[in-house]
Chain A
Amino acid sequence: MALPVAPKPVLRRFHQARWDEKIIFELSTPGERGILVQQSEPAATEALALREDRLAPLRRTAAPVLPELAQMRVVRHYLRLSQENLGADFNIDIGQGTCTMKYSPKINETLIGTPKLMDLHPLQDEASIQGVLEIFWRMEQLLAEISGMARVSLQTQGGSAAIWANIAMIRAYHESNGDGQVRDEVITTIFSHPSNAACAKAAGYKVITLMPDADGYPDIDALRAAVSPRTAALMITNPEDTGIYNAKIREFVDIVHEAGGLAAYDQANANGILGITRASDAGFDLCHFNLHKTFSTPHASGGPGAGASCVSEKLVPFLPGPTIDKVAEKFVINRDHPQSVGVVAPFYGVAPNVVRAYAWIMALGADGLRQAAETAVLNNNYLLAKVLEIPGASAPYAEGKRRIEQVRYSWQELFEDTGVSSEEIGIRMSDFGMHYWTSHHPYLVPQPFTLEPTESYSKAEIDEYVAVLAHVAGEARSNPEIVRTAPHNQTVHHIHHDDLDDPARWAISWRAYQRKYPSN
């Protein structure tokens, strides 16, 4: 072979790292140390000796069987595992629809990596934490403007926790009006995140779930039939995970208000409507944002994220405490909220993520936020057109309508033609270094997949993702076996599932595995 060598083939010949790494316990060598720790001074040891009568019965007799590894071996093990993980920085991450996988700017990592944030204690002298309090306070103002709501709590660590905070406020609000006992139902929609239904149930509510009408919109007649004096709240997403914007959202809110209920807006899908429309415009009483989705903080392998609960004036007294207020040019922590639902999470929130999200908004401003939203929507509709060119793919509901920032697609036609399922397509996609997500149950859309391109991916990258998707769909017709037996280029091969649902056979820790499957 000799030059020329360019260009590369259209599809990347990807292979994920495969270190065939052992479980860390198998790497243990007795006596090795990963780090040495501070030893107590003789005076301290003597002080403890005086308490030995009380301490002796509490002492551990057999040491915990933790692994023993020298430091570089710990590093090598975990960096091998990291290589076997496909972060958003590495792939065209439009396949994890509903997750808003956007770029987490590197400058934000630099900004948070200071002792003046990492090594702050939440109960320090207020005079020594004015900077971080100011960022929290400013962040609240930014989100109040973006949502149109009166006040914001940044206390929760994720979207579902923010939903919980919202339902806790709804419960407290109705109780304060004396009809907490009567209002015992919460209405949601099937295409709203499952945590809306699940948090309502955990707070003691009966859950009513609205199904979509023939066009994919939440059924407004079903809502009219569902509301009653028992209605505590409507908890709804818009656009839902279908990417269809419900134009009647104001009517939905009005119907619930007329029945005396509150309306809570799950804004997990806000990325396409930043600066376009606001929760307050549709009359909502509460909403929440996921800072790890819309506002760019890294998803951290599944958290910590950060949630923001935003409320209208009448819900302000019920906000989780404490709040961070500005009094006479000083930032203060205010715990004096007698009607508050109390503490829903420790202290003030996930500080690193609040700072990252603040930096992201301040890098964009009002015009930039709108540009991000508009580009996310342009990318999504461009992607939609390209996906629909693939034989066997469809976008159920609202035919011919534009979508907002994501689409729930279906491979039903491909499945009928080939017997290859969406789940199998997804695993094959990983062979090309792509994520792919079928997303939440129940599978109302048959053979579903949900793509959300956000504003972060270039046209060329979207084209590459679609090229891989088309290739895999083509394989389902021409060589279904290669799809069914996927993955081929991954860290591990096809994983079995039977043991995971059987209490006698599952292994949730290495010690349980060793007990259940003793080696010969």
Chain B
Amino acid sequence: MSNQVTHPYIPNSVPAVREQMLAAVGAADIEEFYADIPASLRVQGSLNLPAPFLAEAELERHVSSLLNKNTSTRETLSFLGAGTYNHYVPAVVDEVISRSEFLTAYAGEPYEDHGRFQALFEYQSMMAELLNMDVVNVPTYDGMQAAATALAMAGRITGRRGIVLVSDANPDALSKVSDYVRSFMDLSIVPSINGTADLQAAALAIGADTAALWIQTPSFHGALEDQGEQLARLAHDAGALVVVGTDPIAYGALAPPADWGADIVCGDIQSLGIHQWFGGGRGGFIAVHDDPTFVLEMPSRLFGLESTDVEGEYGFGDVAWDRTSFALREEGKEWVGTAAALWGIAAGVYLASMGPTGMAELGETLLARTAYAAQKLAGVDGVQLCDSALHLREFAIDFSNAALSSTEAVAALRVRGIEPGVVLPGNCLLVCVTEQITAADIDTLAATLTAVLKEN
């Protein structure tokens, strides 16, 4: 044996047990099990890794000391968004998803893992209500993947190559989508006007080879698209599908995209009860109507309700399993693997806790505080709003006429304990306001920004 420590994670590291097991299989030593690995491929000696912290207390001290170097968004006043949002996570959500029955489970059958099937079916169902569509997937990785897949689905359904993006999309999402679909589809971008789609230019860009009109609302800059119906008509008249990327957070107050003609709706669920996790708490949803032409193009798992041998008993199972790459390998729809199920359960608990009233009130709070923040920051000397669209949660401000550049302003405000936003090209700043930011916090930002601009 290479090590004499009996490790708490490795019960059969007890020497006597190992000897017993080796004897039971007639092996002289462990090396015998590796006989098939040629000597030339064997690691000589030990891996060159740092010394371990064998005592749990030492490990705790080491990792905590590293994490303690961080300053969290609770310790500053954070207006950071751009894909990861500081929404409140109800305690109930964390309680449920830290239960080890859910946390440590994986891919059991719908008998011994009935609970996760029901919790995810309910997640699908609550998202379906919020989005006013009948079919929502078990979460994929994130909204970028969801958008890439939604657009690829549109390509397969229409047999066309063209994607026409008419909104300001998150540059990272654009990077992901472009590389994901480029073997089969071509992306063209119609620049927005004053925050929302340029209807006339969109009409010219949509043609006989357009598979999808891609709308982001709210856009990367938080602008809400209010020409959805006209855009959808343009697309549908040309035989194209309408793919809408969105955030579900405000659909208690706002009409969901299906109401104005969206065929496929996709986005992130991080806002629905998932912590920021340094940008790593993400799940993606794809929603469609209950039409097999669409449903059978979805790569993700879909859990469906079923009957059992007992009356009134709910069973669950995989819907249309034979479309997946698990069943058909490369003949399946794209690919599927371990993605973000636990975040789906979290989002379900969140929606169940919020209910229709909570989601409606939250939507109003977000819209109101965003409007207030835009009003206040537009009143800071030298600062202007980048567009006049209606915004949800985020908006961009322009520093061209200010005493500091947006980058300099960020540096000056950080010294004062404020993360004012994400710097954008063109001397702009993307400011994010969630329900965690009060009007008083917004006043603080505006006053501090005014002060630092005056000092320079």
Given A134-B69, A303-B342, A374-B1, decide whether A47 and B226 contact each other with a Cβ distance below 8 A: no
> A68, A368, A437, A495: which contacts B107 (Cβ < 8 A)?
A437
* A36 CB contacts on chain B under 8 angstroms: 358
Interface positions, chain B 51-98, Cβ under 8 Å from A, are 51-54, 56, 59-60, 62-64, 66-76, 78, 80, 82-84, 86, 88, 90, 92, 95-96, 98
Inter-chain CA distance A71–B353, complex, in Å, is: 7
* B1 CB contacts on chain A under 8 angstroms: 371, 374
Q: Are A54 and B390 in contact (CB under 8 A)?
A: yes
> B63, B179, B275, B310: which contacts A118 (Cβ < 8 A)?
B275
Q: Binary interface profile of A, 29-42, with partner B (CB < 8 Å = 1, else 0)? A: 00011111111110
Distance (whole angstroms) from the CB of A94 to the closest CB of chain B: 12
Inter-chain CA distance A111–B295, complex, in Å, is: 40
Determine whether B371 belongs to the interface, using a CB cutoff of 8 Å to chain A. yes
Determine whether B157 belongs to the interface, using a CB cutoff of 8 Å to chain A. no
> A64, A292, A362, A366: which contacts B251 (Cβ < 8 A)?
A64
* B337 CB contacts on chain A under 8 angstroms: 158-161, 163, 193, 195
Interface positions, chain A 266-292, Cβ under 8 Å from B, are 273, 275-278, 281-282, 290, 292
Q: Are B330 and A508 in contact (CB under 8 A)?
A: no
Inter-chain CA distance A64–B130, complex, in Å, is: 5
Given A75-B92, A492-B310, A496-B306, decide whether A303 and B339 contact each other with a Cβ distance below 8 A: yes
Interface positions, chain A 19-69, Cβ under 8 Å from B, are 20-21, 23-25, 32-41, 43-45, 47-48, 50-51, 54-55, 57-61, 63-69
Of listed A63, A145, A353, A378, residue having the most chain B CB within 10 A: A378
* A366 CB contacts on chain B under 8 angstroms: 46-49
Counting from the closest, the 6 A-B pairs by CB-CB distance are A160-B337, A204-B183, A365-B52, A122-B279, A347-B279, A131-B69
Q: Are B172 and A64 in contact (CB under 8 A)?
A: no
Q: Are B226 and A57 in contact (CB under 8 A)?
A: yes
Determine whether A177 belongs to the interface, using a CB cutoff of 8 Å to chain B. no
Q: Binary interface profile of B, 327-353, with partner A (CB < 8 Å = 1, else 0)? A: 111111011111111110100010111
Of listed B109, B124, B308, B315, residue having the most chain A CB within 10 A: B109
Query: In the complex, how many residues of chain A place their beta carbon closer than 8 angstroms to a beta carbon of chain B?
Result: 213
* B54 CB contacts on chain A under 8 angstroms: 363, 365, 368
Interchain pairs with CB closer than 8 A, number: 730
> A77, A276, A345, A512: which contacts B290 (Cβ < 8 A)?
A512
* A472 CB contacts on chain B under 8 angstroms: none
Determine whether B254 belongs to the interface, using a CB cutoff of 8 Å to chain A. yes
Determine whether A520 belongs to the interface, using a CB cutoff of 8 Å to chain B. no
Inter-chain CA distance A110–B188, complex, in Å, is: 47
Inter-chain CA distance A511–B351, complex, in Å, is: 15
Distance (whole angstroms) from the CB of B30 to the closest CB of chain A: 5
In the complex, 13 of the A-B residue pairs with CB atoms within 8 angstroms, ordered by the A residue number, are A23-B122, A34-B92, A34-B358, A37-B358, A61-B255, A81-B115, A93-B106, A96-B106, A111-B67, A121-B278, A352-B280, A371-B3, A510-B121
Inter-chain CA distance A443–B349, complex, in Å, is: 37
Given A130-B70, A371-B2, decide whether A490 and B112 contact each other with a Cβ distance below 8 A: yes
Q: Binary interface profile of A, 426-441, with partner B (CB < 8 Å = 1, else 0)? A: 1100100101010011
Determine whether A261 belongs to the interface, using a CB cutoff of 8 Å to chain B. no
Given A121-B78, A378-B33, A459-B17, decide whether A350 and B277 contact each other with a Cβ distance below 8 A: yes
Distance (whole angstroms) from the CB of A52 to the closest CB of chain B: 10
Interface positions, chain A 80-137, Cβ under 8 Å from B, are 80-91, 93, 96, 99, 101-105, 107, 109-111, 114-125, 128-132, 134-135
* A478 CB contacts on chain B under 8 angstroms: none
Determine whether A491 belongs to the interface, using a CB cutoff of 8 Å to chain B. yes
Q: Are B306 and A344 in contact (CB under 8 A)?
A: no
> B38, B84, B115: which contacts A346 (Cβ < 8 A)?
B84
Q: Are B316 and A495 in contact (CB under 8 A)?
A: yes
Q: Are A74 and B349 in contact (CB under 8 A)?
A: yes
Given A25-B125, A58-B226, decide whether A118 and B277 contact each other with a Cβ distance below 8 A: yes
Q: Are A44 and B371 in contact (CB under 8 A)?
A: yes
Determine whether A409 belongs to the interface, using a CB cutoff of 8 Å to chain B. no
Q: Binary interface profile of A, 330-353, with partner B (CB < 8 Å = 1, else 0)? A: 000000000001111111111111
Inter-chain CA distance A343–B106, complex, in Å, is: 27
Q: Are B12 and A347 in contact (CB under 8 A)?
A: no
* A393 CB contacts on chain B under 8 angstroms: none
Q: Which of A2-10, A414-422, A497-505 participates in binding chain B?
A: A497-505
* A345 CB contacts on chain B under 8 angstroms: 141-142, 144-145, 176, 282
Q: Binary interface profile of A, 187-210, with partner B (CB < 8 Å = 1, else 0)? A: 000000111011111111001010
Q: Are A55 and B390 in contact (CB under 8 A)?
A: yes
Q: Are B135 and A125 in contact (CB under 8 A)?
A: no
Q: Are B60 and A111 in contact (CB under 8 A)?
A: yes
Of listed B132, B305, B336, residue having the most chain A CB within 10 A: B305
Distance (whole angstroms) from the CB of B33 to the closest CB of chain A: 5
Q: Are A302 and B41 in contact (CB under 8 A)?
A: no
Q: Are B92 and A35 in contact (CB under 8 A)?
A: yes
* B303 CB contacts on chain A under 8 angstroms: 508
Inter-chain CA distance A300–B342, complex, in Å, is: 5
Q: Are A146 and B47 in contact (CB under 8 A)?
A: yes
Q: Are B70 and A128 in contact (CB under 8 A)?
A: yes
